[in-house]
Structure 1
Amino acid sequence: GNKINKLLICYKLCFVTNMSLIYNAFVLFMRVAIHSIY
């Protein structure tokens, strides 16, 4: 059971990291889009 627990923690960390990277990329993209519009 310990191995599965570690795997779940790793998965959650990876998921959170991916979400923050996607969010940062999205914010960056929106800034570029807004600057190109105005």
Structure 2
Amino acid sequence: MLFIKGILNFNPDYLKRLLLQRQAIFLIHLQRNPHRNLND
């Protein structure tokens, strides 16, 4: 947890971009496979 806080304090913009990128990939994945289990 402290490590994550350190990353946030170090470079929040990078982390935000990374999270947005992951979210975008996840949404695209859902659009391509709408019937797949979310736990997969």
**Fold in common (TM above 0.5):** yes
Structure 1 residue ranges (4+ consecutive) displaced by more than 4 angstroms after TM superposition: none
Unaligned runs of 5+ in 2: 1-8, 36-40
Q: Determine the structure 1 residue equivalent to 2:28.
A: 24
Amino acid in the other structure paired with 1:28: R
> Sequence identity, in percent?
4
Q: What's the C-alpha RMSD, in Å, of the aligned pairs?
A: 1.6
SS at 2:33 equivalent = helix
Cα offset, 1:14, TM superposition: 0.2
TM-score if structure 1 supplies the norm length? Answer: 0.61
Q: Determine the structure 2 residue equivalent to 1:13.
A: 17
Greater relative contact order (CA < 8 Å, ≥ 6 in sequence): 2
Tell me the matched-pair count: 27
Amino acid in the other structure paired with 1:23: L
